[in-house]
């Protein structure tokens, strides 16, 4: 498989590499919150409740995606069929949406406005990866994927985006 992006490299490597990257993302976010705690958002306890809620929702969404598609983190060359059932009936990229919601949960819980910087970067990487994945799936599955896009027009948030 030709490696065209960071996400290709991420998926092509073994699960230990992927886990190290995932842990690294959280270490960066937590480090930023610890070393740059000000300015803060303080609407206690609402920020903590929102944070925990977003994190649980994101984790659950990620879980549902893997329950429906156990190969969600496999490399592109292992994609053999288009998954259109389960959570994929509501959105096309539930794994990425789950991560982004967990990051949003971390933002509200940690309360540091500086955490928006790494969270935005990681979210943009996921967005770019989702668009790259769409091009790949469109090329591989053609008309079948185009029909799926018409049936499920929402990439990350049903009825919104």
Tens digit of pLDDT for each residue in 138-156?
A: 999 999 999 999 999 999 9
* Centroid of chain to Cα 116: 15
Q: Is residue 40 classed as helix, strand or coil in its secondary structure?
A: strand
Environment class of 135 (CB within 10 Å of its CB; exposed 0-12, middle 13-18, buried 19+): exposed
What's domain 16-151's architecture?
A: Up-down Bundle (1.20)
Distance CA 21, CA 12 (A): 13
Q: Is residue 156 classed as helix, strand or coil in its secondary structure?
A: coil
Tens digit of pLDDT for each residue in 2-46?
A: 556 656 666 566 677 778 888 999 999 999 999 999 999 888 899
User: How big is the chain, counted in residues?
Assistant: 161
How do the domains of the chain map onto residue ranges? 16-151
């Amino acid at each position: 498989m030709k490696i065209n992006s960071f996400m290709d490299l991420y998926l092509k490597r073994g699960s230990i590499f992927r886990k190290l990257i995932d842990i690294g993302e959280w270490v960066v976010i937590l480090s930023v919150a610890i070393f740059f705690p000000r300015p803060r958002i303080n609407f206690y306890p609402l920020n903590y409740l929102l944070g925990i809620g977003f994190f649980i929702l994101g984790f659950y969404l990620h879980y549902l995606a893997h329950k429906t598609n156990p190969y969600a983190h496999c490399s592109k060359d292992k994609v053999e069929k288009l998954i259109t059932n389960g959570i994929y009936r509501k959105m096309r990229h539930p794994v990425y949406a789950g991560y982004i919601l967990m990051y949003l949960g971390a933002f509200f819980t940690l309360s540091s406005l500086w955490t928006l910087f790494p969270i935005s970067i990681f979210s943009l990487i996921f967005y770019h990866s989702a668009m790259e994945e769409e091009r790949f799936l469109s090329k591989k599955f053609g008309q079948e994927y185009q029909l799926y896009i018409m049936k499920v027009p929402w990439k990350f948030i049903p009825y919104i985006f």
